[in-house]
Amino acid sequence: MPQIPLVHFRLSSVGRSDPDGQSIEDVGTNAHRAVTTVVSMYAITIREPGAPNVLEWTEQPEPQPGPGEVAIDVAAAGINRADLAQRKGAYPPPQGASEILGLECSGTIAELGDGVTGWQPGDRVCALLAGGGYAERVVVPAAQLLPVPAGMDLVEAAGLPEVGCTVWSNVIMEAGLRSGQVLLVHGGSGGIGTCAIQIGTAMGARVVATAGSAESLQLCRDLGAEVAISYREQDFVEEVKKLGGADVILDNMGAEYLDRNISALAPDGHLAVIGMQGGRKAELDIGKMLVKRLHMSVLGLRGRPVEGPQGKAAIVTDVAERLWPLVERGEVRPIVHGSMPMSDAAKAHALLEAGGVHGKILLQVP
């Protein structure tokens, strides 16, 4: 039972009244007895770092929006490989971010924090998150909200914010991909890869993608890749050189592909590294880069500040202005492998780790 706080009275020297002249009896009659209510929700929590079975659907305190933030009643959340790394203890959330997994979600606005304008409770939105998406409710800075694209299902929209902002910020905003240039996308059948192929094609680039199985390679072609390369059977460096080299490479492998990526770039090319699935450390031949005047960026998205020239707000604004029209015209869409109840997040993680997933897996709130 909640503890009821005591109401303290002070006797003045002039009879039984408080310093404001109100009688003690009146004060006692009018006093409000405060009862604290803790509102809860359900969310996926990590019992301890480890395999998918450490994920549990548990009751948690419901977050409340602060100034400049909104609370979202979550409809669905997208799964990203960063979530798998966090579950294993290898990718902790940024300071101040929710410990709950989930870097993107969709839903409806439930509540506005002080100072938020341009949005209303009930608006259908999707959001770029630093964490917290695997839950019934999440709080996010209003600057990281995006409207659900016209004509798109609310659940499907959960698969857009993280991949869209990642690809757009690296390939378009940072590397400056232009029409007619060659874009090499590694991991073309995954969530990031399927998005990158479509964005490159929509921007008029010649897209080359790597993938493993015949089914994955065909998906890359269906999404617009001019050339689909089997990383198991072909040398992507030689295949890309047939096109004169890549002007931009979007790489999720890191160390394992570093030297070959440098070799595959055309003069003045740009290597954008966004992942380390192939390791963290490798030898870099700066001489190769110098001769071809190459550029290299290694940029994360989750840990960026909200505001500032490299902040998430600037990325989300550019995505809303330039990528969202492509989505609404059907030139770019989330590729969804399937969806599961959010309470089955452990099964979803196991499925993604087993391989063979094309596009995104979404978690729906029951």
Q: Considering the domain 175-298 in this protein, what is its CATH number? A: 3.40.50.720
Work out the percent of the chain whose per-residue pLDDT is above 70: 90
Q: What would the mean pLDDT of 139-148 be, rounded to a whole number?
A: 98
Which position has the higher pLDDT, 156 or 7? Answer: 156
**Is the model's pLDDT at 175 over the cut of 90?**
yes
The pTM of the full predicted model, rounded to 2 decimals, is: 0.88
Q: What would the mean pLDDT of 334-360 be, rounded to a whole number?
A: 97
Sorted by where each begins, the domain ranges of the chain are 40-164+304-364, 175-298
Identify the weakest region by mean pLDDT among 6-10, 35-39, 87-91, 305-309: 6-10
What's residue 38's pLDDT? 64
The CATH architecture assigned to 40-164+304-364 reads: Alpha-Beta Complex (3.90)
- What is the 3-state secondary structure of the chain? CCCCCCCCCCCCCCCCECCCCCEHHHHHHHCCCCCCCCCEEEEEEECCCCCHHHEEEEEEECCCCCCCEEEEEEEEEECCHHHHHHHCCCCCCCCCCCCCCCCEEEEEEEEECCCCCCCCCCCEEEEECCCCCCECEEEEEHHHEEECCCCCCCCHHHHCHHHHHHHHHHHHHHCCCCCCCEEEECCCCEHHHHHHHHHHHHCCCEEEEEECCHHHHHHHHHCCCCEEEECCCCCHHHHHHCCCCEEEEEECCHHHHHHHHHHHEEEEEEEEECCCCCCCCCCCCHHHHHHHCCEEEECCCCCCCCCCCCCHHHHHHHHHHHHHHHHHCCCCCCCEEEEEEHHHHHHHHHHHHHCCCCEEEEEECC
What's residue 314's pLDDT? 97
Q: pLDDT per residue over 22-61, tens digit each?
A: 443 444 444 443 444 568 999 999 999 999 999 999 999 9
What's residue 102's pLDDT? 98
Say yes or no: do domains 40-164+304-364 and 175-298 share a fold: no
What's residue 306's pLDDT? 97
- Average confidence score pLDDT of the chain: 91
What's residue 39's pLDDT? 86
